[in-house]
A and B are shown apart, each in its own frame.
Chain A
Amino acid sequence: MIERITKVIISFLAISALITTGCATTTTNVRQHSTLESQLIDVDSVLVVTPAVTIEKINFSDQNERMTELENDLKQQLITLANEKLTEKGFEVVKFDIEKAIEEDEQLAYAVTQAREGFQEAKKTLYDSSLTQQQMQNFKVSVGTAVNIVSEKSGADAVLLLHYSGQRKSGGSVAKDIAVGVLVGLLTGYAPVSSFEASIVEAAFIDGVTGDVLWSNIYNSQALNIQPAKLLMDSFPQDIDSITQAAPGVKKEGATVNVTGEDIEQTAL
């Protein structure tokens, strides 16, 4: 019996060690629509939807606390970063007070929620572990046409959804981790150290008309600041206007675009 329990514990330790090692590296997960370039022909202006930011302080008891001050601070920094990055990439950022509009318009608020939920659902396909490298750069997923309402009301051709979630361990939680580390170290000679803080940033660039996810990226990090978001946004696609300058064969509205598979995915209602 004792041997069985020992085996179970050793297996858990091995898995924990793997997880800990896995978490120690930062990874990027860029996904791109199969016909991104042709889709971008219709995208000039972008609305930055107020980022959803959740930061929790992990306490020794289960009474975790929301770190609202840090949340608000990061929210502002994310908006500034997105505005700068979109402009740098050649897009026009639409000036529309989405937060105020959501407060006054239940239909708009619900449409944004549906778009966010749609992306959470789309992530299952986009980040399916069985995807090949080629598939990662060549997908077609839609969050649904609810996003039409957002586009219609803001006048933007596309929307950018941002989600930042993070956690910081309290002194008690860190002490517990250290105690566990010491005990594990004594027994195995290897002491797993989990990080004091961590974050996941997600971004989804969505066609406001079709609801297609044009580009998305997820960034895991052991930092709780704007830096992971900066790295995430580095791979944001360039506006087609810049590509047009580079490749004169591709033109805006009304021109012949020789790109195959231009059809709109109909996952939406």
Chain B
Amino acid sequence: MSFFSEILKNTAALFALCLLAGCTGATHIKALSKDSNNNYSESDKLLIASLKKQSDDLHIELKKRGLIYSDKESNEYISSLGRNLAPEFMTGGNVLKFYIIKDATANAMALPNNNIYLNIGLLAVVESEAQLATILAHEISHVIQQHSLKSRLNRQETILAANIADIFLLGTGLSYLPAISNISSFSREQEKDADLLGLKHLRNAGYDLNQAPDVFKVFQTLPEVTTIEGSAYSSHPQNKQRIELIEKVVNEQYTGYNPHHKESEAFTKIRKKVVETHVKIRLHNNQYELALNTLDKAEAYYSKAALIQFYRAEAFRLKADNPRKAAEEIKWLYPEFQETKNIEYFIKNKPANYQKAESLYNDAIKMNPNLSLSYRGNGLLNYSNNNYTAALSNLNKYLELNKKPEDSLYIKRLIRNINRKLGSKHND
């Protein structure tokens, strides 16, 4: 035992030293500025080139996967908002580029190649242009402060140190646990920096700073906030601290500041545009509760009431079709209900969910008799319930109203199956 204790003692000492060494890096990296003269070492230059290449590759990958939202008007709006917030030296040429991604989570990211990405899920939840600008200003600050480079350098050194310690811990991987927490604590510091520097950019562009903490209040109301890993906006306690800090800084450091920025109509227009895509992604991801949540919020600004009812109906129909997925979502969002709202609960509630869906589809049809999608929904619902005659009538109506549906092959196959079933019934 004494031999083993000796090893452990020495390992602990080495481990501590290694981790301390890992915490010291990247202090030489300066923020970008108008007349910045960053004397990068050769190894830093290589790392910068490598990070930029990785970022460029990621962008190509996003594009290849069709994940970049290509609506021209939305992209121009985001870019002009971003350029208005960025300091002058960052706006010339193509220094900063802004994109929207088809991702339903409320998140944004800045890459080392100066690309800033906003998720559709973020655009769907922010309530004002000033709130959206707060996020953009935060991401721009990450770019200016070169946070990616700094954290990569720190991470590299920490991982190297942890790797050495890991050898002495016999490859157990135990040393990585503190290394990981070290990385995340550093990130929180950077997030705080970006929040505070973001306020300066907001002030320079004339935004109402009192709206800056509001965006974090919005995040706190989202059901999925505590469950998304890796999002800067996902932690409840972190958001609470951020709100307090931002409010304090605004009250203490920006007294007497008069905002002059006026909300543009374009904000509401873009929000309306993205909300349908947002709901579709949620439903594709089997996130029925989250889709319903988005629809409840959209009711305040989205004028197409029939479409809202249709998507609500879809959420209930899919819940009934996929009880396992519905239960998984509840377990993910509300672990406290996983015992009561489990798969058996959703199986038992199938008829009720179908009934709810049918009633909502019919509401949508009443509001807009030409909304072909509602007939599709009703047809699929009838099919699930073995009501083939009604299914046939609804699906045919869908094809009649929608001349070029994306899923014509699927619907035609269903109709063929229904005809076979009805034919065999008649033959019986």
Contact = CB atoms under 8 A, between A and B. Distances in A.
Interface string B305-334: 000000000100010011011000000000
B406 A114 contact: no
A82 interface: no
A16 B172 contact: yes
B174 A12 contact: yes
B409 A148 contact: yes
A62 interface: yes
Contact of B66 (A5, A110, A183): A110
A102 B66 contact: yes
The secondary-structure label for the interface of chain A is helix
B66 A208 contact: no
Given A125-B324, A148-B409, A263 B417 contact: yes
Interface stretch (B30-38, B154-162, B219-227): B154-162
A60 B324 CA distance: 42
Contacts of A62: 155-156, 159-160
Interface in A49-103: 60-63, 66, 102-103
Interface string B170-182: 1111100000000
Given A16-B172, A63-B50, A149-B406, A109 B66 contact: yes
Interface residues of B, number: 50
Interface stretch (A130-138, A172-180, A197-205, A239-247): A172-180
A12 B410 contact: no
A108 interface: yes
Nearest to A5: B8
A180 B380 CA distance: 58
Given A6-B4, A9-B174, A42-B413, A266 B167 contact: no
B67 A60 contact: no
Contacts of A184: 170-171
Interface string A109-142: 1111110011001000100000000000000000
B121 to A, nearest CB: 15
B42 to A, nearest CB: 15
Given A6-B4, A266-B321, A209 B171 contact: no
Interface residues of A, number: 56
Nearest to A6: B4
Contacts of A107: 66
Contacts of A177: 171
Contacts of A60: 160, 163
B45 interface: no
Nearest to A263: B417
A234 interface: no
Nearest to A192: B171
B5 interface: yes
Interface string A225-269: 000000000000000000000000000000000000011101111
B67 A110 contact: yes
Contacts of A106: 66, 68, 70
Nearest to B159: A62
B284 A145 contact: no
A259 to B, nearest CB: 12
Given A2-B5, A263-B417, A266-B383, A148 B66 contact: no
Nearest to A68: B57
Interface of A: 2, 5-6, 8-9, 12-13, 16, 42, 60-63, 66, 102-103, 106-114, 117-118, 121, 125, 144-146, 148-149, 151-152, 176-177, 179-181, 183-184, 187, 192, 208-211, 262-264, 266-269
15 contacts: A2-B4, A9-B170, A42-B413, A60-B160, A61-B156, A102-B64, A106-B66, A109-B66, A113-B65, A146-B284, A176-B167, A181-B171, A208-B409, A264-B417, A266-B383
Given A60-B163, A117-B285, A210-B413, 16 more contacts: A2-B1, A2-B5, A2-B8, A13-B172, A16-B171, A61-B156, A62-B156, A66-B57, A112-B65, A114-B284, A148-B408, A180-B166, A184-B170, A187-B170, A263-B417, A269-B318
